[in-house]
Amino acid sequence: MLRFTRKQVLVAAASAAALSAIGGCSLEEETPAQSQPGQPAQTGADADAWHKTVCRYCGTGCGLLVGTKQGKAVAVKGDPDNTVNKGMLCVKAYFLANVLYAKTRITKPLIKKNGKFEEASWEEALNLIVTKFTEIKTTHGSDALAFYGSGQASMDESYVYNKLFKGFIGTNNVDGNPRTCMASAVAGFNQTFGKDEPMGTYDDFEKADVFFFIGSNAAEAHPILWARIIERRNKNPHVKIIVCDPRETRTTQVADKKLIFKPGADIALLNSMAYVIVNENLVDRNFIDSYTNFAQTVDGKDEKRDWNQYVEFLQQFKPELVEATTGVKAEQIYEVARMFAEKSKETISLWCMGVNQRIRGTHTNNVIHNLHLITGKICRPGSTSFSLTGQPSACGSVREVGALAHLLPGHRMIANAQHRKEIETIWGIAEGTIKPTPGRPLMRMFQGTVDGDIKGMWVMATNPGHSLPNVNKYRAGMEKCFLVVSEGFHPTRTSELADVILPAAVWCEKEGLYGNAERRTQHMAKAIDAPGETKPDVWALLEVAKRMGYGDYFKYNSIDDIFAEYRRCTVGTGYDVAPLERLRKERGVRWPVVGDGMGTEGSIRYAAPWDPYVKAEEKIKFYGKPDGKAVIFFRPHLPPAETVNAEYPMYLTTGRLLEQWHTMTMTGTVEQLNKIVEVQTAGEGWFVEMNPKDAESLGLKDGDKVRVTSPRGQLISKVSLHGRGTPQPGLLYMNFHDPNVETLTNIVVSDAVDAASAQPEYKVSICKIQKI
C-alpha cells in the first residue's frame, strides 16, 4: 500500500493543501502533491491502469485518478485535466486508497442477535428488513418509518431511496446529513433568489479582487480551494483576503484584514457593513432598482418594504453602536465594508458551517446575499455569494435529488401540488400518492426515535450516532427502534447501535456520480471489485424494493437507467444536468445544460449570456422569483439559543482539522494521518482549545486534564494553548472528530435548530470547564 514518511505527510499538509499559515507557498512549488504545474500527486509507477474518479471527502469535488494493479487500488493522484483541482490534492486524498483495506472493513451482513452481532447471508438480512418494515407499516403506519441518507452517497443511490420511501413505502420521513451542514444555505438561497445553490463557480476565484470569508476555516476544511485563492493573491498583489471568525485560525493568519467577532454576532456585523455601504453611497442603485425587492418577516409572513425603510432599518447597526455587540472596533468595520464595496473591485463571499450551523443561519445567509445585492456585486465574473459545502455530494445527492424531508427531485417542493404531480408522472404512480405534507427533518426525525414514534429507520453512508448534537439523547432513541445501517466500516458509533448492518461498497468499488459545490456533476468509474460479499448500496435498495412488492417500478438494469430517469426530473427546471454518456467522458459538467445536455455547460446563473434561461435583453433575471427579482431582507440581530450565565460562563464552538474528516470512519484508519501532532500524539487524545487569558484566570496550563460540562452532559479532555487556533476570551473550541464514545464532542453541543432550515446550532453552546 501507499507509504510516505512523516516528513512528507507534514509537508503535503502544509504546502500542498494549506499552503502554510504564512501564505508564501505557490501551487508551482515542488511538493509530494505536485512536482510541476499540472503533474499528478504521485507517480504510481506500480499501477497498470488508471481510472477517473472524484475525491470521497469534502464538497470541493477534486478530480482523482486511481491506479490499480492485480485488482487492487495501489495509488491515487490528482487529475491534471480536472479544472477543480488541476492535479492538486490535499493530504487526506493521498491516502484515500488505504481506507479500502482498513481492518474495520465489513464484508458480510451482520444481524444483532441477543445483543451480539452474527454474520448472516444477504437473503436473511434482506428478508428481515422487509419483514420488519412491512410489519411496522401495517401496524403503525408508513410514517413510523424513516430514512436518513448522506451527502456521501452516490446520486443514483439517493434517487432510488428517495423514490422508494416517498413514492412507495409512503412516507416523506426522508432526510440527510446535509441538514446538519448546508440546510441554512439552502433556505437562504431559496428565500433570496427563489432557487437553491450558488450562482457563481470556481472560475470566479481567478477573477475576484476581494475574498470575504465568514464562518469558514478554508485552510483546514477546503484546502485546495484555499490554495487557489492564495495563488490568486500571490500572483496579484492587489487581491485582498478578509476573514471574519470568532477564533484565530490558519485562515485568519494569512488574512489581509481579520475581524474576530463575538459568537452569535454575525448578523449585527454584516448589517453594520451594509450600513457603511449605504451611508457612504457605495451601493449600485441601478442594480437595486432593476433587480431587487425588499421584505421584512413579520409574524412569519414576508411583508414588502422599500429602499427608504431599509436605510432606516440599518441605522441601528451604525458601527459605533454595535461595537459592544460584535466585539469589533468601529473603524475596522468601516475599513472592511469599504474594501468589500469598492466599485472598481470584484468581490466574492465564502462561508460554511460557521454561518450555517446557527439558529440564525438562514438569516445570516440572507444578509450575506444582501451585501452583494446592494453593491451589484453578483451575477458577473469574480463577484458572487458562494456557500462552501462539506461533503462530496451534499449538493448532487441530496439537494438536487431532493432527498430531504421537504423536497422532491429537481429541487421540487413536496408542499407544491404541481411538483408532486410532475414526479408522480415520472415515477408512474397515481396522482395523490405522494403525501402533501413534508416529513420530519433531522432533529424531529431522531426525536421520533426517542419518543417511540419512529419504529424503524434505515441509515446510509453516515454516522449520526457520532455526529448529531446532544448525541447521547438520540443514541438512546436509535437503540429503541429497528435500525438498519448501510456502512463500509464497523464498528462505528452508529453501526454498533444497529439491528442489521449491510456491508457497502466504498468509493471506487462501484460506479457513481457526485455533484460538488459549483454545480458540477461528475462521474466516478468503478476501478476495483468490492471485497467479500460487499454490495453497492443501490443494489440493496433495489432488492428491498423488489421484496416489498414494488419491483415493477424499479426495473433498472444499470446506473444508466436510474440516471436517465433522474435527468428527466431536471429538464426544464433550471437545474438541467448533463446525460451520463457525456459525464463518463468529461471531467464533470456544470448545470444547467439545456436541450439534449450536450451543449455549453452552465456558468454564471441568472445572467446573460451565461445562463441559457436568461434572454440577452433581460440581462439579469432571478427566475426563481415570479417577478424575476431577488429579495433584500431586513434581518435583525438576535441572540443564540442559549447565552452564557453564572453556571455556564463559556461558549463552545466546534470544527475540524485538515488531516481528518468528519467522524474518522475512513481517515481514522490511516496510520499516517493519525500520527500528525495536532490529531493524536502518542495516545494523548483530543483537546479543547482555550484562550491563554482564560486558562490563566482558571489556573489551567497546557495539557491539563479538564472536564467540559454543558446542560446536556459532560466529557473529559485536555487543554491546548498552543494549537493551530486561538479562541477569543470566553470561547472554547473542540474538534468533533474524536470517535471515543465517552468523549464525543457532540455530547455537550446544543441541539437547538434554525426555525426556517431546521439546522442545528453546533457553533454556539454554553458550557463550563474545570480542572480535574
The pLDDT of residue 11:
35
Catalytic positions, please?
A: 92, 181-182, 353, 390-391
Whether the pLDDT of residue 5 is over 50: the answer is: no
The Cα 538–Cα 504 span in angstroms is 9
What is the tens place of the pLDDT at every residue in 220-250? 999 999 999 999 999 999 999 999 999 999 9
**Beta pairing partners, 387:** 351
Dist. CA 396–CA 407, nearest whole Å: 13
481 to each of 129, 295, 403, 676, how far by Cα in Å? 13, 44, 22, 39
pLDDT of residue 14: 38
Q: What is the mean pLDDT of residues 635-646?
A: 98
Taking the CA atoms of 386, 387, 390 and 395 in sequence, report the sign of the dihedral they define: negative
Residue 55 has pLDDT above 80, yes or no: yes
Q: What is the CATH number of domain 110-181+393-504+536-574?
A: 3.40.50.740
H or E segment to which residue 445 belongs? helix 442-451
710-747 residue pLDDT tens: 999 999 999 999 889 999 999 999 999 999 999 999 99
Give the whole-angstrom CA distance, residue 164 versus residue 548.
Answer: 10
What is the chain's alpha carbon radius of gyration, rounded to the nearest angstrom? Answer: 25
The alpha carbon dihedral of 284, 285, 289, 292 has a sign of positive
CA neighbor of 9 nearest in space, from 724, 735, 679, 654 = 679
Asked whether the beta carbons of 672 and 679 are under 8 A apart, the reply is: no
The 10s digit of each residue's pLDDT in 595-612 is 999 999 999 999 999 999
My answer on whether omega of the bond before 579 falls inside 30° of 0, hence cis, is: no
Cα torsion 616, 622, 626, 632 to 10°: value is -140
CATH number corresponding to 6-101 = 2.20.25.90
Amino acid 678: pLDDT? 59
| Domain range summary for the chain, segments of one domain joined by + | 6-101, 110-181+393-504+536-574, 183-392+630-634, 576-622, 650-771
Q: Report the C-alpha gap between 385 and 198 in whole angstroms.
A: 7
Name the residue type at position 649. P
Assign domain 183-392+630-634 to its CATH architecture. Answer: 3-Layer(aba) Sandwich (3.40)
User: Average per-residue pLDDT in the chain?
Assistant: 93
Amino acid (1-letter code) at residue 552: D
Give the predicted TM-score (pTM) of the model.
Answer: 0.94
Q: What is the mean pLDDT of residues 398-426?
A: 98
The string of DSSP codes covering 414-432 is: TT-HHHHHHHHHHHT--TT
- pLDDT > 60? residue 31: no
CB-based contact 426:408 (threshold 8 Å): no
Q: Phi first, then psi: what are they for 505, rounded to 5°?
A: -65, 145
3-state secondary structure of 266: helix
Nearest alpha-carbon partner for 202 in 86, 89, 80: 86
Other Cβ atoms closer than 10 A to 22? 9
Peptide bond into 609 cis (omega under 30): yes
pLDDT in tens, 468-518: 999 999 999 999 999 999 999 999 999 999 999 999 999 999 999 999 999
45 band by pLDDT with thresholds 50, 70 and 90: low
Instruction: Map residue 86 onto helix, strand or coil.
Output: coil
Q: Name the fold adopted by 650-771.
A: Barwin-like endoglucanases (2.40.40)
CA distances to 181, 215, 357, 650, 765 from 733, rounded to whole Å, are: 18, 14, 15, 10, 11
User: Tell me: the pLDDT tens digits for 100-113?
Assistant: 999 999 999 999 99
List, for residues 120-172, the tens digit of each pLDDT value.
999 999 999 999 999 999 999 999 999 999 999 999 999 999 999 999 999 99
- Exposure b/e, 561-577, CB count within 10 A at least 16 = b: ebbebbbebbbebbbbb
Question: In this predicted structure, what is the pLDDT of residue 46?
Answer: 83
* Amino acid in the structure at residue 439: G
**Distance of alpha carbon 374 from alpha carbon 369, whole angstroms:** 9
Percent of the chain at pLDDT > 90 equals 92
